[in-house]
Amino acid sequence: MQRNQSGTPPRILTFNHHESYLCAIAGLNAEFDVVTRKGNLDLSWNTRSRAVPSNFSLIDWPKAKVSIRNHAYHAIICHTILNLFWLLPFQRRNLIFVAHIPLFKNSTFERSKSLLKRIIILFWQKYFGLKVIAGSEWKKQSWAIRADVARVFAVPFPKDALSPRKSDEIHGVYVGNDIFERGEELGWGILKDLFSVSPIKVIGYNPNIPDSYIPPDFRAFAHEFSKAHFYVYPITPATGDGFNMASLEAMLLGLPVVTVINPTSPIVHNINGLVGRDAAEMNEHIRTLILDPALRERLGKAARETVLRDFNAPTFWAIWSRVLDLKPSEGPL
Protein backbone atom coordinates (compact mmCIF):
# COMPACT_ATOMS: atom_id res chain seq x y z
CA MET A 1 0.00 0.00 0.00
CA GLN A 2 1.27 3.45 -0.82
CA ARG A 3 2.52 5.50 2.09
CA ASN A 4 3.15 9.19 2.43
CA GLN A 5 6.56 10.72 3.07
CA SER A 6 6.33 10.07 6.81
CA GLY A 7 5.83 6.35 6.16
CA THR A 8 2.31 6.27 7.57
CA PRO A 9 -0.66 4.84 5.64
CA PRO A 10 -2.63 7.27 3.48
CA ARG A 11 -5.56 9.07 5.08
CA ILE A 12 -8.97 8.80 3.49
CA LEU A 13 -12.05 10.82 4.40
CA THR A 14 -15.55 9.40 4.26
CA PHE A 15 -18.97 9.91 5.82
CA ASN A 16 -20.86 7.63 8.17
CA HIS A 17 -23.35 6.11 5.79
CA HIS A 18 -23.76 2.33 5.34
CA GLU A 19 -21.72 1.21 8.35
CA SER A 20 -21.55 -2.43 7.23
CA TYR A 21 -19.96 -1.26 3.99
CA LEU A 22 -17.52 0.96 5.85
CA CYS A 23 -16.44 -2.02 7.94
CA ALA A 24 -15.67 -3.85 4.70
CA ILE A 25 -13.46 -1.08 3.28
CA ALA A 26 -11.69 -0.84 6.64
CA GLY A 27 -9.72 -3.86 5.45
CA LEU A 28 -7.81 -1.63 3.03
CA ASN A 29 -5.52 -0.75 5.97
CA ALA A 30 -5.59 2.95 5.16
CA GLU A 31 -6.34 5.41 7.93
CA PHE A 32 -9.93 6.65 7.71
CA ASP A 33 -11.48 9.82 9.07
CA VAL A 34 -15.25 9.29 9.26
CA VAL A 35 -17.56 12.32 9.55
CA THR A 36 -20.28 11.63 12.12
CA ARG A 37 -21.75 15.12 12.47
CA LYS A 38 -22.36 18.04 10.13
CA GLY A 39 -24.25 20.87 11.76
CA ASN A 40 -27.53 19.48 13.06
CA LEU A 41 -27.16 16.31 11.00
CA ASP A 42 -26.27 13.46 13.34
CA LEU A 43 -24.36 10.64 11.63
CA SER A 44 -23.21 9.03 14.87
CA TRP A 45 -21.91 5.49 14.72
CA ASN A 46 -24.79 3.15 15.52
CA THR A 47 -24.05 1.41 18.82
CA ARG A 48 -26.16 -1.53 17.60
CA SER A 49 -23.85 -1.92 14.62
CA ARG A 50 -20.33 -3.26 14.57
CA ALA A 51 -17.54 -1.83 16.67
CA VAL A 52 -15.65 1.09 15.15
CA PRO A 53 -12.65 -0.38 13.26
CA SER A 54 -9.26 0.38 14.79
CA ASN A 55 -8.12 2.38 11.75
CA PHE A 56 -11.17 4.68 11.89
CA SER A 57 -11.25 8.09 13.59
CA LEU A 58 -14.71 9.57 14.12
CA ILE A 59 -14.66 13.32 13.52
CA ASP A 60 -17.05 16.22 12.94
CA TRP A 61 -17.33 18.27 9.77
CA PRO A 62 -15.37 21.34 10.99
CA LYS A 63 -12.36 19.13 11.75
CA ALA A 64 -12.69 17.46 8.36
CA LYS A 65 -12.71 20.84 6.61
CA VAL A 66 -9.44 21.81 8.29
CA SER A 67 -7.81 18.60 7.07
CA ILE A 68 -9.22 19.09 3.57
CA ARG A 69 -7.75 22.61 3.41
CA ASN A 70 -4.41 21.19 4.54
CA HIS A 71 -4.52 18.62 1.72
CA ALA A 72 -4.37 15.82 4.27
CA TYR A 73 -6.41 13.26 2.34
CA HIS A 74 -5.32 10.82 -0.31
CA ALA A 75 -8.96 10.55 -1.42
CA ILE A 76 -12.50 11.21 -0.22
CA ILE A 77 -15.25 8.59 -0.46
CA CYS A 78 -18.82 9.86 -0.86
CA HIS A 79 -21.95 7.78 -0.38
CA THR A 80 -24.62 10.30 -1.37
CA ILE A 81 -24.89 13.12 -3.87
CA LEU A 82 -25.31 15.46 -0.91
CA ASN A 83 -21.80 14.48 0.22
CA LEU A 84 -20.48 15.76 -3.12
CA PHE A 85 -22.16 19.13 -2.67
CA TRP A 86 -20.75 19.43 0.86
CA LEU A 87 -17.30 19.13 -0.69
CA LEU A 88 -17.89 21.47 -3.62
CA PRO A 89 -16.39 24.61 -1.98
CA PHE A 90 -13.37 22.71 -0.63
CA GLN A 91 -12.32 19.79 -2.82
CA ARG A 92 -13.47 18.54 -6.20
CA ARG A 93 -10.70 16.12 -7.14
CA ASN A 94 -9.71 12.70 -5.84
CA LEU A 95 -13.33 11.87 -5.06
CA ILE A 96 -15.05 8.48 -5.23
CA PHE A 97 -18.82 8.06 -5.28
CA VAL A 98 -20.32 4.75 -4.18
CA ALA A 99 -23.57 3.85 -5.97
CA HIS A 100 -25.19 1.93 -3.12
CA ILE A 101 -28.67 2.11 -4.59
CA PRO A 102 -30.01 1.88 -8.15
CA LEU A 103 -31.82 4.58 -10.04
CA PHE A 104 -35.52 3.77 -9.88
CA LYS A 105 -37.70 4.34 -12.95
CA ASN A 106 -41.07 2.91 -11.93
CA SER A 107 -42.96 6.21 -12.16
CA THR A 108 -42.68 9.62 -13.79
CA PHE A 109 -41.50 11.13 -10.51
CA GLU A 110 -38.85 8.42 -10.04
CA ARG A 111 -37.63 8.79 -13.63
CA SER A 112 -37.29 12.56 -13.23
CA LYS A 113 -35.47 12.23 -9.92
CA SER A 114 -33.17 9.54 -11.30
CA LEU A 115 -32.37 11.59 -14.40
CA LEU A 116 -31.32 14.53 -12.23
CA LYS A 117 -29.07 12.30 -10.12
CA ARG A 118 -27.46 10.82 -13.22
CA ILE A 119 -26.82 14.26 -14.73
CA ILE A 120 -25.12 15.39 -11.51
CA ILE A 121 -22.80 12.37 -11.46
CA LEU A 122 -22.00 12.73 -15.17
CA PHE A 123 -21.14 16.40 -14.57
CA TRP A 124 -18.77 15.52 -11.74
CA GLN A 125 -17.18 12.78 -13.83
CA LYS A 126 -16.60 15.07 -16.81
CA TYR A 127 -15.33 18.16 -15.01
CA PHE A 128 -13.81 16.85 -11.77
CA GLY A 129 -12.73 13.32 -12.67
CA LEU A 130 -15.10 11.66 -10.21
CA LYS A 131 -14.64 7.90 -9.94
CA VAL A 132 -17.65 5.69 -9.29
CA ILE A 133 -17.89 2.28 -7.66
CA ALA A 134 -21.20 0.47 -8.04
CA GLY A 135 -22.35 -2.19 -5.61
CA SER A 136 -23.39 -4.51 -8.42
CA GLU A 137 -23.51 -4.74 -12.20
CA TRP A 138 -27.27 -4.15 -12.02
CA LYS A 139 -26.77 -0.89 -10.10
CA LYS A 140 -24.17 0.22 -12.63
CA GLN A 141 -26.58 -0.48 -15.49
CA SER A 142 -29.37 1.44 -13.78
CA TRP A 143 -27.14 4.51 -13.54
CA ALA A 144 -25.82 4.04 -17.10
CA ILE A 145 -22.50 5.64 -16.20
CA ARG A 146 -18.84 4.71 -16.25
CA ALA A 147 -18.13 2.78 -13.05
CA ASP A 148 -16.19 -0.05 -11.50
CA VAL A 149 -18.21 -2.81 -9.85
CA ALA A 150 -17.18 -4.07 -6.41
CA ARG A 151 -19.58 -6.53 -4.84
CA VAL A 152 -19.33 -6.21 -1.09
CA PHE A 153 -18.58 -9.21 1.06
CA ALA A 154 -20.08 -10.20 4.39
CA VAL A 155 -17.73 -9.24 7.21
CA PRO A 156 -17.71 -12.24 9.59
CA PHE A 157 -19.41 -11.93 12.95
CA PRO A 158 -17.23 -12.40 16.05
CA LYS A 159 -17.38 -16.12 16.82
CA ASP A 160 -17.99 -15.56 20.51
CA ALA A 161 -21.07 -13.45 19.67
CA LEU A 162 -22.84 -16.27 17.85
CA SER A 163 -25.44 -18.44 19.49
CA PRO A 164 -24.04 -21.90 20.36
CA ARG A 165 -27.24 -23.51 19.10
CA LYS A 166 -30.29 -22.85 16.98
CA SER A 167 -33.60 -21.92 18.58
CA ASP A 168 -35.84 -24.83 19.56
CA GLU A 169 -38.66 -23.41 17.47
CA ILE A 170 -37.76 -23.54 13.79
CA HIS A 171 -38.09 -20.06 12.32
CA GLY A 172 -36.74 -17.79 9.65
CA VAL A 173 -35.36 -14.28 9.96
CA TYR A 174 -35.39 -11.00 8.06
CA VAL A 175 -33.17 -8.01 8.87
CA GLY A 176 -34.05 -4.38 8.18
CA ASN A 177 -35.02 -1.04 9.69
CA ASP A 178 -38.29 0.81 9.00
CA ILE A 179 -39.43 -2.02 6.74
CA PHE A 180 -43.09 -1.01 6.72
CA GLU A 181 -42.27 2.65 6.05
CA ARG A 182 -39.83 1.85 3.22
CA GLY A 183 -42.36 -0.43 1.55
CA GLU A 184 -41.37 -2.16 -1.66
CA GLU A 185 -37.75 -1.04 -1.29
CA LEU A 186 -37.47 -3.77 1.36
CA GLY A 187 -40.08 -6.10 -0.09
CA TRP A 188 -42.99 -5.27 2.21
CA GLY A 189 -45.61 -6.45 -0.28
CA ILE A 190 -44.28 -10.00 -0.12
CA LEU A 191 -43.13 -9.87 3.49
CA LYS A 192 -46.56 -9.14 4.92
CA ASP A 193 -47.89 -12.26 3.20
CA LEU A 194 -45.01 -14.31 4.56
CA PHE A 195 -45.51 -13.03 8.11
CA SER A 196 -49.16 -14.06 8.10
CA VAL A 197 -48.32 -17.69 7.31
CA SER A 198 -44.72 -18.54 8.19
CA PRO A 199 -42.67 -18.23 11.41
CA ILE A 200 -40.33 -15.35 10.61
CA LYS A 201 -38.60 -13.12 13.13
CA VAL A 202 -37.75 -9.54 12.18
CA ILE A 203 -34.57 -7.96 13.53
CA GLY A 204 -34.23 -4.19 13.42
CA TYR A 205 -36.01 -0.97 14.33
CA ASN A 206 -39.56 -1.52 13.12
CA PRO A 207 -42.15 0.16 15.39
CA ASN A 208 -44.97 -0.77 12.99
CA ILE A 209 -44.17 -4.49 12.96
CA PRO A 210 -45.29 -6.30 16.13
CA ASP A 211 -42.60 -8.31 17.95
CA SER A 212 -39.76 -6.91 15.84
CA TYR A 213 -36.57 -7.44 17.84
CA ILE A 214 -34.42 -4.36 18.41
CA PRO A 215 -30.98 -5.57 19.54
CA PRO A 216 -29.33 -3.47 22.27
CA ASP A 217 -25.92 -3.91 20.67
CA PHE A 218 -24.14 -5.69 17.85
CA ARG A 219 -23.35 -8.80 19.84
CA ALA A 220 -27.03 -9.24 20.64
CA PHE A 221 -27.81 -8.77 16.95
CA ALA A 222 -25.33 -11.46 15.91
CA HIS A 223 -26.58 -13.82 18.63
CA GLU A 224 -30.23 -13.48 17.60
CA PHE A 225 -29.43 -13.66 13.88
CA SER A 226 -27.45 -16.89 14.27
CA LYS A 227 -30.29 -18.63 16.14
CA ALA A 228 -32.46 -18.64 13.01
CA HIS A 229 -32.85 -21.64 10.70
CA PHE A 230 -33.28 -19.85 7.36
CA TYR A 231 -33.41 -16.37 5.82
CA VAL A 232 -36.08 -14.82 3.60
CA TYR A 233 -35.35 -12.36 0.82
CA PRO A 234 -38.44 -10.67 -0.68
CA ILE A 235 -36.93 -7.89 -2.83
CA THR A 236 -38.02 -8.03 -6.46
CA PRO A 237 -35.98 -6.93 -9.50
CA ALA A 238 -38.20 -3.85 -9.83
CA THR A 239 -36.82 -2.42 -6.60
CA GLY A 240 -33.44 -3.99 -5.89
CA ASP A 241 -30.70 -6.53 -6.39
CA GLY A 242 -31.16 -10.17 -5.54
CA PHE A 243 -28.94 -9.76 -2.48
CA ASN A 244 -27.96 -7.26 0.19
CA MET A 245 -25.58 -7.25 3.12
CA ALA A 246 -27.97 -9.01 5.50
CA SER A 247 -28.66 -11.82 3.04
CA LEU A 248 -24.92 -12.31 2.50
CA GLU A 249 -24.39 -12.39 6.27
CA ALA A 250 -27.11 -15.03 6.50
CA MET A 251 -25.41 -17.14 3.85
CA LEU A 252 -22.10 -16.79 5.67
CA LEU A 253 -23.82 -18.11 8.79
CA GLY A 254 -24.88 -21.15 6.78
CA LEU A 255 -28.56 -20.24 6.54
CA PRO A 256 -30.46 -21.39 3.45
CA VAL A 257 -32.24 -18.50 1.74
CA VAL A 258 -35.83 -18.54 0.54
CA THR A 259 -36.06 -15.80 -2.08
CA VAL A 260 -38.41 -14.42 -4.67
CA ILE A 261 -37.25 -14.71 -8.29
CA ASN A 262 -34.61 -12.07 -9.01
CA PRO A 263 -32.12 -12.40 -11.90
CA THR A 264 -29.22 -10.99 -9.85
CA SER A 265 -29.75 -13.37 -6.93
CA PRO A 266 -26.88 -15.70 -5.97
CA ILE A 267 -29.51 -18.27 -4.95
CA VAL A 268 -30.11 -21.21 -7.29
CA HIS A 269 -33.23 -23.23 -6.57
CA ASN A 270 -32.56 -26.41 -4.60
CA ILE A 271 -28.79 -25.81 -4.79
CA ASN A 272 -28.12 -23.19 -2.10
CA GLY A 273 -31.67 -22.08 -1.30
CA LEU A 274 -35.21 -22.12 -2.60
CA VAL A 275 -36.71 -19.70 -5.13
CA GLY A 276 -40.40 -18.79 -5.35
CA ARG A 277 -42.42 -16.88 -7.91
CA ASP A 278 -44.47 -15.12 -5.25
CA ALA A 279 -45.27 -15.10 -1.54
CA ALA A 280 -47.49 -18.16 -1.80
CA GLU A 281 -44.73 -20.26 -3.34
CA MET A 282 -42.19 -18.90 -0.87
CA ASN A 283 -44.46 -19.98 1.98
CA GLU A 284 -44.59 -23.47 0.47
CA HIS A 285 -40.79 -23.56 0.33
CA ILE A 286 -40.58 -22.43 3.95
CA ARG A 287 -42.93 -25.22 4.96
CA THR A 288 -40.68 -27.70 3.14
CA LEU A 289 -37.59 -26.39 4.96
CA ILE A 290 -39.27 -26.59 8.34
CA LEU A 291 -40.11 -30.25 7.80
CA ASP A 292 -36.73 -31.29 6.37
CA PRO A 293 -33.66 -30.66 8.57
CA ALA A 294 -31.37 -32.46 6.12
CA LEU A 295 -32.45 -30.09 3.35
CA ARG A 296 -31.79 -27.07 5.57
CA GLU A 297 -28.31 -28.35 6.32
CA ARG A 298 -27.46 -29.12 2.68
CA LEU A 299 -28.72 -25.82 1.31
CA GLY A 300 -27.16 -23.82 4.15
CA LYS A 301 -23.75 -25.38 3.59
CA ALA A 302 -23.97 -24.60 -0.13
CA ALA A 303 -25.07 -21.02 0.62
CA ARG A 304 -21.97 -20.48 2.75
CA GLU A 305 -19.74 -21.90 0.00
CA THR A 306 -21.40 -19.58 -2.53
CA VAL A 307 -20.85 -16.40 -0.55
CA LEU A 308 -17.23 -17.27 0.22
CA ARG A 309 -16.56 -17.93 -3.46
CA ASP A 310 -18.51 -15.15 -5.16
CA PHE A 311 -18.52 -12.34 -2.56
CA ASN A 312 -15.02 -12.41 -1.15
CA ALA A 313 -12.81 -9.87 0.55
CA PRO A 314 -9.68 -10.13 -1.66
CA THR A 315 -11.62 -9.32 -4.84
CA PHE A 316 -13.45 -6.43 -3.17
CA TRP A 317 -10.24 -4.98 -1.72
CA ALA A 318 -8.36 -5.39 -5.03
CA ILE A 319 -10.94 -3.32 -6.90
CA TRP A 320 -10.98 -0.62 -4.23
CA SER A 321 -7.17 -0.55 -4.09
CA ARG A 322 -6.96 -0.02 -7.84
CA VAL A 323 -9.55 2.77 -7.81
CA LEU A 324 -7.86 4.46 -4.85
CA ASP A 325 -4.41 3.96 -6.38
CA LEU A 326 -3.21 1.92 -3.43
CA LYS A 327 -1.16 -1.22 -3.39
CA PRO A 328 -3.39 -4.29 -2.95
CA SER A 329 -4.58 -4.77 0.59
CA GLU A 330 -3.25 -7.70 2.53
CA GLY A 331 -5.98 -7.49 5.22
CA PRO A 332 -6.97 -8.80 7.60
CA LEU A 333 -9.93 -6.86 8.89
Q: Which domain holds residue 118?
A: 11-153+312-323
What is the structure's pLDDT at 2? 47
What is the structure's pLDDT at 1? 38
290 and 198 in a common domain: yes
Note whether residue 333 is domain-resident: no
Note whether residue 4 is domain-resident: no
230 and 124 in a common domain: no
302 and 244 in a common domain: yes
Number of other residues whose CB lies within 10 A of the CB of residue 7: 6
Dihedral sign for Cα 262, 266, 267, 268, please.
positive
273 and 203 in a common domain: yes
Q: What pTM was estimated for this model as a whole?
A: 0.90
Asked whether the beta carbons of 142 and 102 are under 8 A apart, the reply is yes
d(CA 49, CA 246): 12
What is the structure's pLDDT at 6? 53
For the stretch 8-48, pLDDT in tens is 889 999 999 999 999 999 999 899 999 999 999 999 998 77
Q: What is the CATH number of the domain that holds 248?
A: 3.40.50.2000
204 and 80 in a common domain: no
d(CA 93, CA 104): 28
Note whether residue 258 is domain-resident: yes
Q: Which residues pair with 42 in a beta bridge?
A: 37
170 and 305 in a common domain: yes
233 and 92 in a common domain: no
Asked whether the beta carbons of 25 and 319 are under 8 A apart, the reply is no
172 and 148 in a common domain: no
Note whether residue 144 is domain-resident: yes
What is the structure's pLDDT at 3? 46
DSSP characters over 70-138: TT--SEEEESSHHHHHHHTTT--SSEEEEE-SPPP-SSHHHHHHHHHHHHHHHHHHHHH--EEEESSHH
Note whether residue 331 is domain-resident: no
H helices present in the chain, as ranges: 19-25, 61-69, 81-87, 108-128, 137-143, 179-182, 188-195, 218-226, 245-252, 279-291, 293-310, 313-323
317 and 226 in a common domain: no
182 and 124 in a common domain: no
Note whether residue 332 is domain-resident: no
Note whether residue 194 is domain-resident: yes
Note whether residue 299 is domain-resident: yes
176 and 38 in a common domain: no
- DSSP summary character for residue 150: -
122 and 189 in a common domain: no
Query: In the chain, which stretches have pLDDT less than 70?
Result: 1-7, 327-333
Q: Which of 318, 328, 323, 322 is nearest to 153 (CA)?
A: 318
What is the structure's pLDDT at 329? 63
Per the structure, the count of domains in the chain is: 2
